[in-house]
Structure 1
Amino acid sequence: MFLDILLYIFIGIIVLQFIYYIGIFSVFSFKKAEKKNPNHVPVSVIVCAKNEAENVTRLIPELLNQNYPDFEIILIDDASSDETLEIFEEFEKQHSKIRLVKVENNEAFWGNKKYALTLGIKTAKKPYLLFTDADCFIPSNQWIAEMTAHFTEKKTIVLGYGKYKKIKGSLLNKLIRYETLLTAIQYFSWAKKGKPYMGVGRNLAYNQSEFYKVNGFIDHMSIRSGDDDLFINQAATKNNTEICYSLESFTISEPKTTFNSWYRQKRRHVSTASHYKFFDKAQLALFYACNISFFILAIVLLVTQHQWILVTALIAFRYLFTWISVGCGAGKLHEKDVVYWYPFLEVTLIFTQFSVFIHNKFSKPVHWK
């Protein structure tokens, strides 16, 4: 009797997963790509850096090389102790497009990236803002054009995709890129469903008016992370948000090379989710609860050999529709190689996320440098 109840729960979990992967994620994964015409709206590209001397030396020329008629670059030095400020000042002298914001340590906002970004946003002269991180690569000179092409009179927030660089032969790299892929499928899909809940600061754009409508970061200034996802969770709606996932719109970041450093990064990222709106927290919690419950119940039912033929068929069906959904999403985001490792990466990520959740319950993660 008890095993029968577990079987019914197992079936219910697979039904819920089908709703997520086919009913929700399909609006992105199975969606035909749309090509937008350039908008050429005035844009301020904003980069906030703290001790990023080596990275900004590479990034700034990539930004200056953008094929776009009307943009400025706002470089924010957040009280760096290395040569970041000196490099910024040298570029500012050479290029009229560059404007520099120097942030000094403020006792009330020490080490708070949101404070530094706020100063940069207030300095921006262009009505549209496009954000990336100092450690990103901008491989295409059409990046600004692609991201801003999605702005309309109503669509004032654009969510982009921030890839991680591929490292051949590294399972950790595949895990990092799989997690990034799955996260993007989720926030792109929910945005298309009219329930946008997050974006990534590595590739994010919005009109300045959206920033001032919600009083900037003031409601979550005390939370060190979340200049991207908490802002989007507050400001984005079904009417003002669009997504951009064309190849030339991608940014690329250097991934972590050790599990411990990536694990610490995930702890910082996950810590902001508890501040999301109730619906967003609930749907994310349900998604991960279904995933971890699926594996636990599958093991229990197979070990006990309770209706093992039916259980095996259900497992095969579940992997069929999840693999198809994730695979189609991976094709759009040019991450196909991680799909070959999907079963291994999925189970590793699920139990890593569970560990992060438990770890964060007992200690606070370290945030912005």
Structure 2
Amino acid sequence: MNRPPLSDHSVVSAPVSSEPLSRLIAHEIQERGGWLRFDRFMELALYAPGLGYYSGGRRVLGALPRDGSDFVTAPELTPLFGETLAHQVEQALEATGTREVWEFGAGTGALAEQLLSNLGDRIDRYTIVDLSGTLRDRQHQRLVKAQPELVHKVIWADSLPDTFEGVVVGNEVLDAMPVQLMVWDGRHWLERGVSVDASQPLGFVWEDRPAEPGARPPTDRPDDAFVPGTVTETHAQAEAFVATLAQRMTRGAAFFVDYGFPEAEYYHPQRTGGTLMCHHLHMSDPDPLIGVGHKDITTHVNFTGIALAGQEAGWEVLGYTSQGRFLSNCGLAEALAATGQASTAEELRSRAAMQMLVAEHEMGELFKVIGFVKGPWFDALGFRQGDRTHTL
């Protein structure tokens, strides 16, 4: 999602927390003895049926605050993103001998629309898996009601089948998966969770408790390398998701686009505050305990953990690089040149969007792409120059 970088300290006043959602979370905290692990809190805040940020009917995706949205993703910035990604997907379909695309967390359906348009008859089916009923409705409106010819090609699935094949696409899906929070107190690793604020029955406060024996961030750095008070995240759910996909895929490939770092950067001792961040009306703040249900909660991705999870479950890494390099390798500049804009204004908008996708100070360096394959390894187009797999 095109969210402000962590160095951006602009903050918008937080909305009031959703009372029904807060009551649900407070009840679960009480049922669990007065303390709730943060990954469960984040799961409820984002995905509680009918109440969570993604499941409660909010318009989360859009270009500007005035439309009530909180962030915008690359496919909404420009159709050049999907057109360029389609070159890699098409190569992967050919290399793996498959004819189906699976997209997880499809947002407004913009990327699906772009891939379907560019892949055409190269695919027989496009399957979307999305937990948000509101977004699924927007996707259906965009992809089927507006284009009836796609009614037999685009389907929605509530869960992953026991086996499947094809090419998986996940644009900014890993960052929204719940994480555990770890705190180093100078002697021990603690787990940060949430309890109810005694002064505000529907308010929440942080509470640290001893972590399970042996629990610590997945890094080779010694504990004494970390500054006391350091907070960071671990990503068990995202890694389990990737492992499940790898185990159930019989043949195919997968490409995940997200913001994040390899392990050595993610758990660098100078990154003392972790990467947890919230977003509301295209502004950022660091506190997920206020405005519950009305703000996005997200963290950066540990791509080393994702790579290992995929490998251990049967995938082979095709490559890992920055979004800017990946899109350049896949022909983004050539796609822009071929658009033939009708006006100078349109051309300027397209060039500005392209710069946001590839520039190092925009999305080009912060966002990364990792690719996997099950079946014969192939020289994936997007990683032919600037592959950083050795940094994972």
What TM-score do you get using the length of structure 2 for normalisation?
Answer: 0.28
Name the structure where strand makes up a greater proportion of residues.
2
**TM-score normalized by the length of structure 1:** 0.30
Q: Quick check: which one's helix share is greater?
A: 1
